[in-house]
Amino acid sequence: MSDFFELPVIPFRGEVAIVTPSSPFNRQHFNAGITQLKLNKMKPVIPRDAFLKKGYLAGSDEERAYLLIEAILTDSFSAVWAARGGYGAIRLLPLLEKRIDDLKKHPKFIIGFSDITILHSFFVEKCGFVTVHGPNITTLSTCDNYSKKQVFQLLQGEERALTIYNPRLQVAVHGKAEGVVKGGNLASIISLIGTPYQPDFSDSILFLEEVGEVPYKVDRMLTQMRLAGMFDKVKGVVLGEFSYQEYRPPATKSVHIRQIMDNMALPSSVPVVYNFAAGHGKKNMAFLLGAEATLDTEKRSLSYL
């Protein structure tokens, strides 16, 4: 099993560094998320440079990388929480790699989703961290109450948060699998293919989610991953939200699970579940990346115990 249990969890009144590795954010949503941290007895530390803007980025690459690196290297911070996703994290990877020897010595929970998938992948693959796929600061106030409660339970080390059970989870292929949980946002993962930062999903339980991409674009991305051999040794698959919008009702639709599975071309022995409550919707349960877990389709659960 992974040694993530040895990583520090946030103390009941732990300091949390807020970072902006991607796009600028809505101040109202940001403030509402910070309030959620305070209500849960956490102490957010917000650097002045978190409010920088440079076009569609939250500051220059150097400024955003500096905030992230300093947050990780500062021992008083128990975790590093992303303000928002959007775009931009991939531009930081060469700057992070220059400090990789220092970063490896300071394992911390990196928290966020969407574009933060890029950072999850880097710190899991390159540094051996265990990270937290969960709400960004700007989505904390809008996700459902269960997701809000669950992310804080996970960060505070409560055992019940280490088993994610969802009775509405649907099973496409039954089975049981053990592996290191990896993955995140599909488009973000695609952007890493062919770079020095392309993740290795061998022996993993692979989680994928996407929003706002119509079926043929999801088809294209999954086909690219398949042709790159990224599904060849996957042990299990967990699919989150795959929704997109059309103008005619019903406007909100989902990419069909059969289309996704056909494009992945997985062996029949690989268990697959879908409708996992994580992604860009109101239900966004937090779970660990880089740690070993068991996917059990009979129990409809992903368990780190």
Asked if 11 and 155 sit in the same domain, the reply is yes
What CATH number is attached to the domain comprising 172? Answer: 3.50.30.60
303: annotated active-site residue: no
- 155 and 167: one domain? no
Per the annotation, the verdict on 269 as an active-site residue is: no
Give pLDDT tens digits for 145-157.
Answer: 999 999 999 998 8
Binned at pLDDT 50, 70 and 90, residue 46 comes out as: very high
Both 10 and 152 in one domain: the answer is yes
Amino acid found at 41: K
Q: Does one domain contain both 85 and 149?
A: yes
Q: Are residues 169 and 87 in the same domain?
A: no
Give buried/exposed letters for 65-87 (b at 16+ CB in 10 A, else e): bbbbbebbeeeebbbbbbbbbbb
Residue with the bigger pLDDT between 112 and 251: it is 112
137 and 24 in a common domain: yes
Minimum mean pLDDT range among 61-70, 233-242, 257-266: 257-266
Same domain, 10 and 153: yes
Give me the domain span that covers residue 188: 162-303
- The string of DSSP letters for 82-146 reads ES--SS-GGGGHHHHHHTHHHHHTS--EEEE-GGGHHHHHHHHHHH---EEE---GGGTTTS-HH
Q: 292 and 260 share a domain?
A: yes
Place 208 in a pLDDT band, splitting at 50, 70 and 90.
Answer: very high
Query: Measured between alpha carbons, how far is residue 67 from residues 72, 92, 118 in Å?
Result: 9, 11, 16
Domain count along the chain: 2
The string of pLDDT tens digits covering residues 49-75 is 899 999 999 999 999 999 999 999 999
Mean pLDDT for the stretch of residues 71-96: 96
Same domain, 203 and 296: yes
Question: Can you say whether the dihedral through the CA atoms of 143, 145, 148, 151 is positive or negative?
Answer: negative
Looking at residue 23, its pLDDT comes to: 96
Shared domain for 148 and 241, answered yes or no, is no
153 and 169, same domain (yes or no): no
Percent residues over pLDDT 90 in the chain: 82
Domain boundary among 90, 125, 160: 160
40/172 same-domain check: no
Catalytic, out of 114, 121, 191, 301: 114
Distance (Å, whole) CA 180 – CA 204: 5
Among 160, 176, 192, which residue terminates a domain?
160
Query: Catalytic residue among 22, 29, 191, 209, which?
Result: 209
Report the CATH number that the domain containing residue 147 is assigned in CATH.
3.40.50.10740
DSSP 76: T
- Three-state DSSP class for residue 252: strand
Average pLDDT over residues 185-190: 98
Mean pLDDT of the chain: 92
Q: Which of 120, 136, 160 is the last residue of a domain?
A: 160
Residues 31, 301: Cα–Cα separation, whole Å: 33
256 belongs to the catalytic site: no
29, 120, 133, 280: the catalytic one is 280
* Contact by Cβ (8 Å): 117, 188: yes
